[in-house]
Amino acid sequence: MTLINEKSFRAKQIYEWLWRKNAGSFDEMTNLSVSLREKLKTHYRIDKITLEDQQISSDKTIKCAFSVEQGKVVEGVLIPTSSRMTACISSQVGCSLACTFCATGRLKLLRNLTAGEIYDQVVYLKNEAESRYSIPLSNIVYMGMGEPLLNYKNVLRSIDFLTSEDGLGMSPKRITVSTAGIAKMIRKLGDDEVKFNLALSLHAANDQKRNKIMEINESNNLEELSDALKYFHEKTGSRVTFEYIIFKDFNDTIDDARELARFARCVPCKINIIEYNPIDGGEFSQADPKKVNDFASFLESKNLIVNVRRSRGKDIDAACGQLANKNKLITNEERILKN
């Protein structure tokens, strides 16, 4: 690191420009002298993500493809509803978990995103919410490309910036980190006594079915996840969200609902039933609406909190599980990897 022999208060000014004002260049830092700005440009650079492509759905969902370096692209989505404005952001370039129902899982993992690259996605989507819809950003979900708990340090650092008064000042209770289920890292979240929300992508409540669609379950089975979630709740006091994509003729029966209800007793929770969004060449299809309603009704009869989530942004492949599906930038990246 180069020492530039400036007074210490300059560091605070630069920090505010980078994190609160999200400056993209040193020239924007107008309360710094010209000589200091030139010195900074000589020794440092600001790595910011750039917008490569943007699509707007008929339901006003916005999908953005961000370039994080040459040839590497991630996607973020702004999801407007009547009650909230949510930024769905990525934590890795690609993904290593290869869940069979997810388009991102077909990509190789290229690298982790830095805390700054994660933060930049939120800032861009926040600005879109305010400029296009005149509605402030209300929620952030780490449910885009990648497995957040395999980029633990940068994910938590990005949340520190997002919740800091010197950053965006978001409440941690407005932030949800979703994981496919890595037991030891869920325990670490408990040890770190995190204040944000945790969601587990469950999708099946018996090991045989979950193994079939999520390889991670072979090394992190449901018993291990249950124990880790209990530990997390004991340490944080936070309720856990279970995400359950419901597939036709796979996990949509009352027996499946009964298994889910049994598993969900491990911790105070709520359950999001999510309609499946088809991907190119996928083996699954959407469950019948009546079966979805019956499934949810059974869970409610067991005094569980249940929400049935209708997907948004399907016409631009921005819905759950579709990121990287049909995106020309990602497709080119995939082609390069295979050569």
Largest separation between any pair of C-alpha atoms in the chain: 70
For residue 20, pLDDT beyond 80: yes
> What's the angle, vertex CA 162, arms to CA 82 and CA 235, rounded to 5?
95
Per-residue pLDDT reduced to its tens digit, 28-60: 999 999 989 998 988 888 888 999 999 998 889
Q: Is residue 311 part of a domain?
A: yes
Q: If you average pLDDT over residues 153-172, what whole number do you get?
A: 95
pLDDT at 175: 98
Using CA atoms, how far apart are residues 269 and 183, in angstroms rounded to an integer?
17
pLDDT at 281: 62
Same structural domain for residues 86 and 17? no
Same structural domain for residues 34 and 140? no
Number of domains in the chain: 2
Same structural domain for residues 235 and 309? yes
Which of 329 and 68 is assigned the larger pLDDT?
A: 68
Domain limits for position 31:
8-46
CB 260 within 8 A of CB 230: no
* Structure confidence at residue 326 as a pLDDT band (50, 70, 90): very low
Q: Is residue 67 part of a domain?
A: yes
For residue 115, give the 3-state DSSP assignment.
Answer: helix
| Catalytic positions, written as ranges | 75, 320
Same structural domain for residues 30 and 153? no
Which of 43 and 302 is assigned the larger pLDDT?
A: 302
Using CA atoms, how far apart are residues 179 and 187, in angstroms rounded to an integer?
12
For residue 17, give the 3-state DSSP assignment.
Answer: helix
Q: Is residue 62 part of a domain?
A: yes
- Residues sharing a CB contact under 8 Å with residue 149, sequence separation 6 or more, in sequence order: 155, 177, 179, 182, 185, 186, 189
Which of 338 and 315 is assigned the larger pLDDT?
A: 315
DSSP 138-168: -EEEE-SSS-GGGGHHHHHHHHHHHHSTTTT
Domain of residue 40, CATH code: 1.10.150.530
* Structure confidence at residue 311 as a pLDDT band (50, 70, 90): low
Same structural domain for residues 149 and 38? no
pLDDT at 297: 98
Residues 174-192: b if buried by 16+ CB within 10 A, e if exposed: bbbbbbbbbbebbbbbbee
CB 68 within 8 A of CB 49: yes
Which of 315 and 99 is assigned the larger pLDDT?
A: 99
For residue 323, pLDDT beyond 90: no
Domain of residue 233, CATH code: 3.20.20.70
Same structural domain for residues 36 and 88? no
For residue 117, pLDDT beyond 60: yes
For residue 332, pLDDT beyond 50: no
Q: Is residue 2 part of a domain?
A: no
Q: Is residue 133 part of a domain?
A: yes
Place of tokens 């997907």: 311
For residue 106, pLDDT beyond 80: no
Q: Is residue 1 part of a domain?
A: no
Same structural domain for residues 168 and 19? no
Same structural domain for residues 35 and 111? no
For residue 324, pLDDT beyond 70: no
Q: If you average pLDDT over residues 96-116, what whole number do you get?
A: 86
Same structural domain for residues 75 and 151? yes
Ranked by mean pLDDT, which of 12-21, 96-105, 117-126, 303-312 comes out on top? 117-126
pLDDT at 9: 86
Same structural domain for residues 15 and 118? no
CB 63 within 8 A of CB 55: yes
What mean pLDDT, rounded, does the chain reach? 89
For the chain, what percent of residues have pLDDT higher than 70? 89
Same structural domain for residues 35 and 144? no
Q: Is residue 334 part of a domain?
A: yes
Same structural domain for residues 141 and 33? no
pLDDT at 276: 87
Q: Is residue 184 part of a domain?
A: yes
Helices assigned H by DSSP within 134-274: 152-163, 183-191, 207-213, 222-236, 254-264
CB 240 within 8 A of CB 269: yes
Using CA atoms, how far apart are residues 261 and 255, in angstroms rounded to an integer?
10
For residue 67, pLDDT beyond 50: yes
Per-residue pLDDT reduced to its tens digit, 208-246: 999 999 999 999 999 999 999 999 999 999 999 999 999
Per-residue pLDDT reduced to its tens digit, 258-294: 999 999 999 999 999 998 877 666 678 899 999 999 9
Q: 271, 284, 322: which is closest to 77 by C-alpha?
A: 322
